[in-house]
Amino acid sequence: MDFRNNEEDYIKTIYTLIEAFGSANEIGISSDLNVSMPTVSEYLNKLEAKNIIKKFNRKIYLTTYGLDLAAPIMSRHRISEVFAVKMLDVPWEESHDAVMDIEHSIDDLHFNKLRKNLGNPDRCPHGNPINIKENPNIMEFSINQVPEGRYKLSRIIYEENNLLKKFADASILPGQNLTFYRDGRSIVISGNNEFKIPEKLAGSFRLVTSYE
Amino acid sequence: MDFRNNEEDYIKTIYTLIEAFGSANEIGISSDLNVSMPTVSEYLNKLEAKNIIKKFNRKIYLTTYGLDLAAPIMSRHRISEVFAVKMLDVPWEESHDAVMDIEHSIDDLHFNKLRKNLGNPDRCPHGNPINIKENPNIMEFSINQVPEGRYKLSRIIYEENNLLKKFADASILPGQNLTFYRDGRSIVISGNNEFKIPEKLAGSFRLVTSYE
DNA sequence: CAACAATATTAGGTATACCTAAATAAATTT
DNA sequence: AAATTTATTTAGGTATACCTAATATTGTTG
Ligand SMILES: [Mn+2]
Ligand SMILES: [Mn+2]
Ligand SMILES: [Mn+2]
Ligand SMILES: [Mn+2]
């Protein structure tokens, strides 16, 4: 009876799952928001009735209206993460979890001031754009689109704690280089050290060609 | 169905009313928190059952335990106000209202980091101490304790929007000088301009002798 | 001191976001 | 195709913080 998610949390989670993996499903939402499946099912009905999401088969998508709602939500989330890193001394890999209350507690007007006073960042600590409607104009690929090799990490879309920790431990933050190779249904990534992640997560991190 | 107060809000409001006026009552709490009288009555029963408050006649006080709870709550509130002024460009007289969500959304550990990164303030923008258990060792008086005349404003405990605005408009912020005289049941205060406030509020602002 | 005003409480009800247990539907395996 | 596993929904219920209308209590004052 402690954490209660609100509409913004549902939209944020759905947006992120779609951006990372193409669509969202109820299991993913349930595990990201730490609520039971019936709770998700029920909540999605509300979002559907409000024309925020649409389901095809069992895949969940945001409507155009839903995307319009998502833009400022993602922006507030990502500015909050920059704030957490710069003003609360939170390590970048923990910043996603650290802001889950803050992001709802400041309005857009004040978030703009905060962003300015933080030096006008345009990416969150994980490399994701603060303005999702701005096309960053970068040639980004997800791991399943490119051959094994060496790349620069552009961003990590699905900001899951354990995943982020692995990157942090290997000193691979956005902007840094990594090498990867496939091992069956897994992907082995190395920076300062090596770690393995399931192929399912491949869509979540985006790479650019490394010119170094 | 938008704003919902939680236990911290009730404790903060009760603490403030007691500090400003000696005790709290249900009407004061109701108007400060914008909730109906039955809601207050009901909530106070819970706080009493939890040994946080105690009623004598109709006057409400915090227990020792309640005061222990109030200390970090007031601290978070007041650090939030400094943050609002410095990082969100909020005018000092509006900062109290601006932080009503923020103050609940950051834990003590991170509030300490924030405070440090804000330059270790020890007062909120209204002059009130961030650490309420530290005795500021200042000879402070409320208006009903001193003769008419010229004083330095030390702090404004009851941070009510209209009240703060009057001080701001007259350019009297904590640390600045004011002159006052009595006019029946009102008090007339002047800084850059003159305004009148009901005697009831006298306890809320504290003065020190001005040496200028 | 009765009358009126101010303050507080009771009674009965709402919305939101949760939950467990059980049922159903869809996708994978044997 | 039947059996099993995975994903989703239904049914029925909880806690928290609110509300209005009505009633009771206390304080003030003519
Ligand atoms: Mn994040
Ligand atoms: Mn991020
Ligand atoms: Mn305040
Ligand atoms: Mn203050």
B125 CA distance to ligand 4 centroid (A)? Answer: 5
The predicted pLDDT at position B136 comes to: 66
Q: Which of residues 49-88 of B touch strand D (CB under 7 A)?
A: 57-58
Q: How many A×B Cβ pairs under 8 Å?
A: 47
The pLDDT tens digits of the residues spanning B175-194 come to 999 999 998 889 999 999 99
Query: How close does chain A come to B102, measured CA to CA in Å?
Result: 5
State the pLDDT confidence band at A48, using cuts at 50, 70 and 90: very high
- Around ion ligand 1, residues with a beta carbon closer than 5 Å are A 96, 159
Identify which of A16, A13, A43 has the alpha carbon closest to the alpha carbon of residue A29.
Answer: A13
CA A91 from centroid of its chain's CA atoms = 16
Contacting residues of A for B104, CB less than 8 Å apart = 101, 105
User: Residue A137 has which token pair?
Assistant: 């104009």
> Is residue A179 scored above 90 in pLDDT?
yes
Q: Decide: B47 and B10 in contact? Cβ < 8 Å.
A: yes
- A160 Cβ contacts chain D strand, under 7 Å: no
Q: Of B89, B104, B110, which is closest to A113 when you measure between CB atoms?
A: B89
The pLDDT tens digits of the residues spanning A56-115 come to 989 999 999 999 999 999 999 999 999 999 999 999 999 999 999 999 999 999 999 999
The predicted pLDDT at position A104 comes to: 96
Sign of the four-CA dihedral A119, B122, B99, B192:
negative
For A127-136, A168-177, B62-71, B153-162, which range has the lowest pLDDT when averaged over its residues?
A: A127-136
Instruction: Indicate where chain A has its CATH 1.10.10.10 domain(s).
Output: 7-62
> Is residue B89 scored above 70 in pLDDT?
yes
- B41 Cβ contacts chain C strand, under 7 Å: yes
Grouping H, G, I as helix, E, B as strand and the rest as coil, residue B207 is strand
D24 C1' – B52 CA distance, angstroms? 26
The pLDDT tens digits of the residues spanning B192-208 come to 999 999 998 988 999 98
Instruction: Indicate where chain A has its CATH 2.30.30.90 domain(s).
Output: 143-209
The predicted pLDDT at position B88 comes to: 98
Query: How close does chain B come to A83, measured CA to CA in Å?
Result: 10
DSSP string, A58-104: TEEEE-HHHHHHHHHHHHHHHHHHHHHHHHS---HHHHHHHTTTGGG
> B102–A105: do the CB atoms touch at under 8 Å?
yes
Average pLDDT over all residues of chain A: 93
The predicted pLDDT at position A136 comes to: 66
Class of domain B7-62: mainly alpha
Q: What is the CATH number of domain B143-209?
A: 2.30.30.90
- B34 Cβ contacts chain D strand, under 7 Å: yes
The pLDDT tens digits of the residues spanning A127-172 come to 999 999 887 666 888 988 899 999 999 999 999 999 999 999 999 9
The pLDDT tens digits of the residues spanning B23-63 come to 999 999 999 999 999 999 999 999 999 999 999 989 999 99
Average pLDDT over all residues of chain B: 93
Most confident of A136-140, A198-202, B14-18: B14-18
> A90–B110: do the CB atoms touch at under 8 Å?
yes
Q: Decide: B174 and B154 in contact? Cβ < 8 Å.
A: yes
Grouping H, G, I as helix, E, B as strand and the rest as coil, residue A120 is coil
Contacting residues of A for B89, CB less than 8 Å apart = 110, 113, 117
